[in-house]
Structure 1
């Protein structure tokens, strides 16, 4: 199995992990930040058994495709204050978004602001401490998930994407997290961290990777976290 196939399989496993963290709530209002074409947002809504699905997407064409699927989408920059009412959503989802943002703190504050008290967010992002990144450093190569150019992917000849141009500035990784830094940053911004799960374990495939990531989440490929905003005191 080549690295691109491994990447695809880990991405599928990560999406399954996200869905496992979604609670069934027919009345839930769900916001997918960075919803792309809306395909996965609909799967999240189906898992929750709700029809109340919303999205924010920066790219105009992707936002239009999501709207064609029936998702209520606003086009906005996730680095900025969002044009969304405070305490208006029960669930916020952001998969492979956080690493692309320069205004990380503002984004997390906005997630907290738009969540209802007692609401939760599911966040997934690449793991800087992944075994594949550590081995890259041992051999003097750039970690897979840490980009050094806004134009081209360079620095790691083992990366199947090495030498490829970024399709857009939005694909560049700006902030990459370890498990400890991810947990501490969300805690700092007022969230209770309920679960932090490791997904995937390069270079190992399939079921073996699933076992290894459960035993050693610190060195997994992805970090998928469920955090909750405190309920209001009565």
Structure 2
């Protein structure tokens, strides 16, 4: 089984063997921190039980968490953090309420990403940023996940068996905004200029043993950038956001 502890051990090993490499978590955190100021009003979408907002909530003027899963919000590790039960497609805040919106491991779950991105643009002040971390739908793990998604029962069994994740922490993925081309198109339509989009490799997802780790490293060195497993991006709210698309 490749639980998170073992996977992170492989990540540390890969970092030693490839100086300068970082996995997506630290890159995402550094990207978010670059856009923080003491007067920042921050909204973290899909905050769950904690996430990056745990580290940043006391560095900004306001931090708010939003998540559609009420049990996760009730178990949040920062009890003083303002939290709301909400979907990204319908956020209960006034327009231009935030300077920064963050979302890690959220976009891949959205069934209506165009509506969600329009909501994010609506909530941001002109010039505000949306920073996100999400899987790349062109990567091998995502392609396999999409294939298994057609066999939901088998997928749940494999995730529990191979990665040690309980069903309560596993949510369906649809990858409707998870290719660079689709992301840029949907962001532009929502009034968000895509400032940066970074491809980040990570060969540890199939590192169930030494042989598979070495094979994954061999593949990692040969696949194109466009097939790297994760995307970290920054969108900037344009001066005038377009009208949101009609509700489905």
Runs of 4+ in 1 over 4 A off after TM superposition: 1-4, 7-10, 149-152, 154-157
Contact 1:32/1:92, CA 8 A, preserved across alignment: yes
Q: How many residue pairs were aligned?
A: 212
For structure 1, which runs of at least 5 residues remain unmatched after alignment?
134-141
Asked if 1:227 is matched to 2:229, the reply is no
* Deviation, structure 1 residue 44: 3.7
- Is the 2:98–2:124 Cα contact (8 Å) retained in structure 1? yes
Aligned pair in 2 of structure 1 residues 45, 154: CA closer, same or farther (>3 Å)?
Answer: closer
Higher helix proportion? 2
1:25 corresponds to which residue? Answer: 37
Question: Distance between the aligned counterparts of 1:25 and 1:39, measured in 2?
Answer: 19
User: Per-residue deviation at 1:77?
Assistant: 2.5
How much is the aligned-residue C-alpha RMSD, in angstroms?
3.5
CA shift for structure 1 position 149: 4.7
Residue 132 of structure 1: how far off its partner (Å)? 4.5
Q: Out of 45, 65, 78, which is 1:55 matched to?
A: 65
Q: Which has the higher contact order (CA 8 A, sep 6+)?
A: 2
Matched residue, 1:37: 49
| In structure 2, distance between residues paired with 1:187 and 1:154 | 35
Residue ranges of structure 2 left out of the alignment (5+ in a row): 13-21, 208-212, 241-248
1:111 to 115, 120, 127: 120
For residues 119 and 24 of structure 2, the distance between their equivalents in structure 1, rounded to whole angstroms, comes to 24
- Show the counterpart of 1:69: 79
Shift in Å, 1:148: 2.2
After superposition, give the CA deviation of every residue in 1:175-220 in whole Å (9 maximum; x if it has no partner).
2522222222212222111111112333587xx97xx69x953111
Which residue does the alignment assign to 1:136?
Answer: none
Within 5 A, what are the aligned runs for 1:47-196?
49-66=59-76, 68-79=78-89, 81-132=90-141, 143-144=144-145, 147-153=149-155, 160=162, 166-167=167-168, 171-176=171-176, 177-196=178-197
Distance change (3 Å), C-alpha of 1:16 and 1:225: same
